[in-house]
Structure 1
Amino acid sequence: MILGSGCSEVAKTVSLAADLWNIVQVSYSASSPALSNREAYMSFFRTNVADSLYNYARLAIIKHYGWQRVATLHENQEAYSTAVNLFSELLATNGINLTTSESFTVEPGEQIDNLKEKGAWIIFGNFQEVMARKVFCEAYKKKLYGKNYAWFLLGKYSPRWWEVDDNSTSCTSQQIYTALDGYILTDSVPMSLYPDRPTISGHTSAEIAEVFRTRAEQDGLDDGHVTSYASDAYDAMWSIALALDQATKSPNDDSGNAAGPLHEFSYETRETREHFINTLSTLQFEGFSGSVSFTDAGDREGLIEIRQVIDGEETVVGHYSFHGDEQLGSDLNITDIQWPGGSPPKDETTEKIVFSTTPRLYLYVAGGLCAAGVLFASICLLATIILWERSAFYRASPLFLVLGLLGCIGMYVSIFLMGVSSDVIGPENQVLLCTVRSWTMTLSFCLAYGALFAKIYRAHKLLVSKANLWKPGGHFPLMFRSLMSLFLFCVIVLIVWTVWFPIQRDVVSSGNEVR
């Protein structure tokens, strides 16, 4: 049996070669979903959680918050592409809409633009640490962060990875952190949740962790970073030991094939290899990282830890227990996620049309002023009617005064109607209101201006002809015809406009605002 390799690409090559020599391989950190393909990697096992299994934790989170629209962004590498493809299938199976799936090779700028253009609010990312700095630099520039967004990434990044200065971005570490602050990650549990529970070795996880920290300090290692791999490596070695121990005790496997003692092992025979595979497939024990067992594909059925970056530090906010059920037979426990807006973001924008209308205060003020004008014009109109028969009024053509005052009253009314909007009378009456105030303003203007023009024109003719201004004459019919001609012309224009070119209601967007 072989322990390793930790790198997925190397593990693939080793597994293909090891199978030719009937050797079983157990890895502690190779996470590529491709290694779950039993047809290609028949004798591969791993004690770390495969990247594809994080998809179930992500799906559980999506269902927990009731999201129906999500997006993905991944780097163009086989490990990430395979995991995202499996995630897309899982989303489709569970009725979740994948808004867009973006991929990039070197620079993610265009893909970030696409995410924003397509309204992606819940984003799941699969990319390595170096690319993560580029992604969040672009997210900062394009404002793809804040209370309306939720970013989900894989774990395994180094502590405070955004502070690493590798000259790969044009952003400062603070700008990158501004964009990623509050992001959520899924990772395998670095240590059993029950530190005082005895493991297969007889020691508790707390005791093993203390030994590890002591050795790490002696060797000058960063225990916070190494521990996430150390527990899986520890359990991988125990898995191999238990399989070897079982091989010495069980002369036959479940199928009845002879396994033979270990000292009779041969690279040419497949019986011992099959025995190891069967033993590991049914193996279950309490390890440093928790309960250890394997799926039929050789993947670890481990506990997944959900963490969130809060104030620059990763804080545990929940756990997910995977049971291998395609219909999400799982146990999700989320407790302390801190959302920037105080509540989980929406998975899409809610379109709400808010009409821009005249403030009621302005309408009331304008209405009061118009009412004052109507009152004053009405008083003048009443006075004109009362004093109609007096010589001074009669010679001044009181009929035109009355028509002019009526036009002024109509203009005041039309000004008030101009301020009345759909929120007062209802959208269904908006077209009728527009038509009425157009007619009112036009005809009122014709009366008011026509009467004034007729009287001015009369005065002009009398002054030019040097006639007696106070002597009644034949000027009245000409004035009346001029006024009625203008009025009739306006009526004809309004009828043609109303019948053949009616007013239509159209909604024009003046911009969007995200709340």
Structure 2
Amino acid sequence: MWYCTFLFVYNYFISLTISKQIPLIGLFTQDKYDTNYSASTIIEYAVNRLRTIETIQTELDIQHDEQDIPCDMAIGTKMVFDMLHRKPRPLAIFSGSCHTVASAIAETAGIFDMTIIIYSETSSLFTAREKYPSLIRTVPGDSQHNIARKLLLRKYNWRRFGILYQYERQYTMVIDNNMSDALAPVTRFNDLLQDESDWENALSRGISFNDLDETQGNRTRNSLKDAFDELRKNNIRIILGNFNSTMAVRIFCEAFRYNLYGSRFQWIIVGYYEPKWWLNNPGPCNTSEILHALNGTLQTRVAKLGYNTRKRTMADLTLDQFKFDLTTFKSTNYFVGYAFDAILTLTSAFEKLNSCPNEFHIDSIWHQSCWRHELIDIIKNIDIEGVTGRIRFNNGDRIGEIVIEQILVYHSHKSTNVDIAKLFVAIPTNQSKYILLPAGNERNITWHGHGPPNDRIKRIERNQRISVLTYTIIASISGFGIFLAIGFFVFNIIFRTHRFIRMSSPQINNLIIAGCILSYTSVLLMGIDSTLLGERNSESAMNFICAARVWTLSIGFTISFGAIFSKTWRVHTIFTTVNASKRAIKDYRLFIFVGILFALDFIVLTSWQIIDPLKIFRHTSQIQTKDEDIVILWSYEECLSKRRSIWMTIQSIYKGVLMVVGSRFAWATRNVHINALNDSTYVGMSLYNVVLLSITTAVVGYFLRDQHERSYILTSIFILLCVTITLCLVFVPKVLEVAKDPSSSAKPQRAVLLKPKAKLSDDQGHEKEKPILSNAQEHDKEKLLIQIKGLTNQNEILRLNAKKCDELITKLLSAITDTHDKPYQYEIIMPLSTNIIDETMHTRESDWLLDDENQLRK
């Protein structure tokens, strides 16, 4: 047994004597968050562990001060220069310092072409190889967080996102000389997504610390307000953050103000390594408000220790053993594991440089490339196992594990607790790709809602088409209307010689029928869309249909309404002017009037078609559902032109004037009843019908233009009602009259103007009873009988005069409808006063009827 002990000790000392001691510079800054931590502790622990490995012949001699230096760039740079002149001269620099010191000494090492290995700086600033050519980092850089972010976005199908980044050097570092205007965090992440086409970076917005200075014109609120206004405007739900902890406090304060947190939003930020960083709150919000907005935020950080706990490191140490040993250090420094792995990396690299001379007391050795360029090349190709996972490098940057955590805030009556829950770990594979694995603690993401938020408002696209059933029903009604109009046309042709039809200007009635048929056709055209025509050549066909809709409806209205208007005008002209000398108003004058309206319509429509033709366009209307994350997008087709409103206004003006004047004529002749010209009443009613329904159709079409099918249904109903009622008012009385008198043998009736009869009433509105003569009035009976006889004679005279008026009216009507008769002068001798009967007792017969009573006997 003594022999075995002696042999072990002998071999141990022999290994020490033949081991290769490598002189290095050790430069470490104080950890302001962990005063118990000292770099010398982990260095001694790592070196001692490696001494126990018999196969390792290299020992690192790290020259450093007993106490870590302050985070001062000047002090750090001076110490490097001082150590460079020590004997033996160091071959590399081993550092765990703050950002400013690390940047200074890394740049200095590049000047002296010395290898520098850093274990505590994750800033993307150090990826600039032209500035730091000899830098090696055993901790993954911030740019690798983007890989974990991509895996997280893909896991929860978050394809649309926005980025808020801090506009400072380490966050906006230039990637290379060819991309001088590219922002490193943003561009790298976008480049990472180029392999898939369905990613959408909806917003990239930078904010600088200058904008956080409240004394400079309140630039903070303006800058943050603009950024958050854009987030809200673009409806961004998934927000990626690249900023430091100070900026994070202000941003989450603004998120609280804008209510951009909770179940509908998810923040994903680059995590921070300062404990309780949210307490550093110089902003306008209190800590409770910041934690309220921060609750549920996901963050990515480098893994503190490796994922695989079973593998042994180069120091013959498992992860569980390392965790146990850490408890004796009483240190909470986040990068202890990376410091340990840095020593493993350097030891492994120097082990592979056995061919290099080791007379380190000779200065010439320090200048040999064996200890300079070859060392860097070997480190870049190292592949060993460490306590933070597999140690590999990509151009000097560590390929390491990234952990995804969630910040959870728990409120109680007395305190508020913040928990950092580890959820996933992004682990690099052999193919330099990453996979996302559970962190091992079986914890899931805590959602504020029922599940992960949607990355956007879910838009359900639906085509707003006219259903086949709707179009079939309306088309059937329109077809029936067309056949009805054709039936009336045939009736008008067959019975055109019938006296009752001939007196009502059948040719003008045919114009009404033609206009109605065109209006029915326009209803059929309104229901046609591209789905009925098919996708192929549907655009050109729909452009033609757009024009056809306007032409058929406009010309149909002009012809039918123009004919009705002209007939109303003729009745008004004949029966509203007393004792006027007139020429006969024949049908050709009405045709000329309708032709003028048609020509005006034709000019307007032709100009519209040539200058600004109607074309089919697809529009989308948005309807918000009860669910805030779901919106229905209705897509519909509409015929539009650049100046459609102007053309529509032109048509509306002259047709509106026509309807107003026509309404006035119809109202002025409302009491005229001409049974021979049976249109006198019904034509006026038709005119009212057209005016009212046309206005209603225009209003309905305007307010329901976004609801395609509903607009089509209501517009079609009003057009069909208008056209059908007009046809029936004009032709149904004629059909009934012809049915009663097929041979046209009935005696024509004279024209009368009706006036409402006034009842004899007392002051209380009750009808008075007919007075009864008393006995005292018997002596007046004889006188009363004489008066009755006189009235009887006058009644006979009036009857004779009425007969002569009938003959005159018949002759006049024949002259109006007969286009072959020569025009002649005539005079209306019938007075329009309806009080003629009441005034008979005070008017002489010779004034306007017959000379004397004797003519009655003749």
TM-score (norm 2): 0.45
Residue type matched to 1:437 in 2? R
Are the equivalent residues in 1 in contact too, given 2:121–2:137 (CA < 8 A)? yes
Compared CA separation, residues 103 and 464, structure 1 to 2 (3 A): closer
Q: Quick check: 1:278 aligned with 2:385?
A: no
Aligned to 1:397: 505
Deviating more after overlay: 384-393 vs 85-94:
85-94
Percent identity reads: 21
1:111-152 Cα offsets, whole Å, 9 max, x none, are 566788899998764321232344456678789899999876
Compared CA separation, residues 73 and 210, structure 1 to 2 (3 A): same
Compared CA separation, residues 403 and 79, structure 1 to 2 (3 A): closer
Q: Quick check: 1:258 aligned with 2:367?
A: no
Aligned to 2:313: 199
Residue type matched to 1:396 in 2? S
Q: CA deviation at 1:18?
A: 7.6
Compared CA separation, residues 150 and 166, structure 1 to 2 (3 A): closer
Compared CA separation, residues 63 and 431, structure 1 to 2 (3 A): same
Compared CA separation, residues 147 and 367, structure 1 to 2 (3 A): farther
Are the equivalent residues in 2 in contact too, given 1:189–1:228 (CA < 8 A)? no
Q: Quick check: 1:155 aligned with 2:266?
A: no
2:404 to 307, 314, 337: 307
Aligned to 1:470: none
In 2, Cα distance between the equivalents of 1:254 and 1:275? 14
In 2, Cα distance between the equivalents of 1:341 and 1:416? 49
- SS of 2:172's equivalent in the other structure is helix
1:90-128 Cα offsets, whole Å, 9 max, x none, are 966996799786533135634566788899998764321
Q: Quick check: 1:28 aligned with 2:119?
A: yes
Aligned to 2:562: 450
5 Å-filtered alignment, 1:54-69, equals 54=145
In 1, Cα distance between the equivalents of 2:559 and 2:112? 107
- SS of 1:258's equivalent in the other structure is coil
- SS of 1:82's equivalent in the other structure is coil
- SS of 2:311's equivalent in the other structure is coil
| Structure 1 gap segments, 5+ residues each | 220-225, 324-328, 468-472
Aligned to 2:168: 77
Q: CA deviation at 1:86?
A: 5.4
In 1, Cα distance between the equivalents of 2:571 and 2:128? 104
In 1, Cα distance between the equivalents of 2:133 and 2:281? 40
- SS of 1:79's equivalent in the other structure is coil
2:390 to 291, 294, 300: 291
In 2, Cα distance between the equivalents of 1:152 and 1:479? 79
Aligned to 1:212: 326
In 2, Cα distance between the equivalents of 1:127 and 1:142? 19
Are the equivalent residues in 1 in contact too, given 2:307–2:425 (CA < 8 A)? no
- SS of 1:198's equivalent in the other structure is coil
Q: Quick check: 1:479 aligned with 2:593?
A: no
Compared CA separation, residues 466 and 511, structure 1 to 2 (3 A): closer
In 1, Cα distance between the equivalents of 2:340 and 2:559? 99
Q: Quick check: 1:132 aligned with 2:261?
A: no
Deviating more after overlay: 24-33 vs 190-199:
24-33
Are the equivalent residues in 1 in contact too, given 2:489–2:513 (CA < 8 A)? yes
Q: CA deviation at 1:31?
A: 2.1
Compared CA separation, residues 378 and 170, structure 1 to 2 (3 A): farther
Max Rg structure: 2
Are the equivalent residues in 1 in contact too, given 2:253–2:293 (CA < 8 A)? yes
- SS of 2:338's equivalent in the other structure is helix
Are the equivalent residues in 2 in contact too, given 1:458–1:475 (CA < 8 A)? no
Q: Quick check: 1:321 aligned with 2:437?
A: no
Q: Quick check: 1:7 aligned with 2:98?
A: yes
Are the equivalent residues in 2 in contact too, given 1:320–1:330 (CA < 8 A)? no
Residue type matched to 1:204 in 2? T
Are the equivalent residues in 1 in contact too, given 2:558–2:597 (CA < 8 A)? yes
Q: Quick check: 1:462 aligned with 2:574?
A: yes
Q: CA deviation at 1:504?
A: 3.5
Q: CA deviation at 1:378?
A: 4.6
Are the equivalent residues in 1 in contact too, given 2:250–2:283 (CA < 8 A)? yes
Residue type matched to 1:418 in 2? M
Q: CA deviation at 1:316?
A: 3.8
Q: Quick check: 1:176 aligned with 2:323?
A: no
1:75-97 Cα offsets, whole Å, 9 max, x none, are 23333233765564796699679
- SS of 1:80's equivalent in the other structure is coil
Aligned to 1:501: 611
Q: CA deviation at 1:330?
A: 0.9
Compared CA separation, residues 481 and 54, structure 1 to 2 (3 A): closer
- SS of 2:613's equivalent in the other structure is coil
Q: Quick check: 1:104 aligned with 2:204?
A: no
Are the equivalent residues in 1 in contact too, given 2:516–2:557 (CA < 8 A)? yes
Aligned length: 480
RMSD: 5.5
Deviating more after overlay: 413-422 vs 11-20:
11-20
Q: CA deviation at 1:422?
A: 4.1
Compared CA separation, residues 115 and 460, structure 1 to 2 (3 A): closer
Residue type matched to 1:258 in 2? N
- SS of 2:139's equivalent in the other structure is coil
Residue type matched to 1:480 in 2? F
Are the equivalent residues in 2 in contact too, given 1:191–1:228 (CA < 8 A)? no
Are the equivalent residues in 2 in contact too, given 1:50–1:300 (CA < 8 A)? yes
Deviating more after overlay: 424-433 vs 16-25:
16-25
Are the equivalent residues in 2 in contact too, given 1:307–1:318 (CA < 8 A)? yes
Compared CA separation, residues 132 and 418, structure 1 to 2 (3 A): same
- SS of 2:404's equivalent in the other structure is strand
Aligned to 2:521: 413
Q: CA deviation at 1:293?
A: 5.1
Aligned to 1:436: 548
Q: CA deviation at 1:205?
A: 0.9
Deviating more after overlay: 116-125 vs 3-12:
116-125
1:470-494 Cα offsets, whole Å, 9 max, x none, are xxx7633333333344334434544
Are the equivalent residues in 2 in contact too, given 1:33–1:83 (CA < 8 A)? no
TM-score (norm 1): 0.68
Deviating more after overlay: 433-442 vs 385-394:
385-394
- SS of 1:286's equivalent in the other structure is strand
| Structure 2 gap segments, 5+ residues each | 1-24, 29-95, 176-182, 212-222, 410-419, 439-443, 623-630, 634-858
In 1, Cα distance between the equivalents of 2:337 and 2:113? 27
Compared CA separation, residues 157 and 398, structure 1 to 2 (3 A): farther
5 Å-filtered alignment, 1:237-252, equals 242=347
Compared CA separation, residues 53 and 362, structure 1 to 2 (3 A): same
1:9-36 Cα offsets, whole Å, 9 max, x none, are 2223345678899997653312234445
1:336-373 Cα offsets, whole Å, 9 max, x none, are 79899979969xx9999987665666655654554554
Are the equivalent residues in 1 in contact too, given 2:244–2:272 (CA < 8 A)? no
Compared CA separation, residues 265 and 103, structure 1 to 2 (3 A): farther
In 2, Cα distance between the equivalents of 1:272 and 1:492? 93
Q: CA deviation at 1:206?
A: 1.7
Compared CA separation, residues 141 and 335, structure 1 to 2 (3 A): farther
Compared CA separation, residues 335 and 477, structure 1 to 2 (3 A): same
Residue type matched to 1:477 in 2? Y
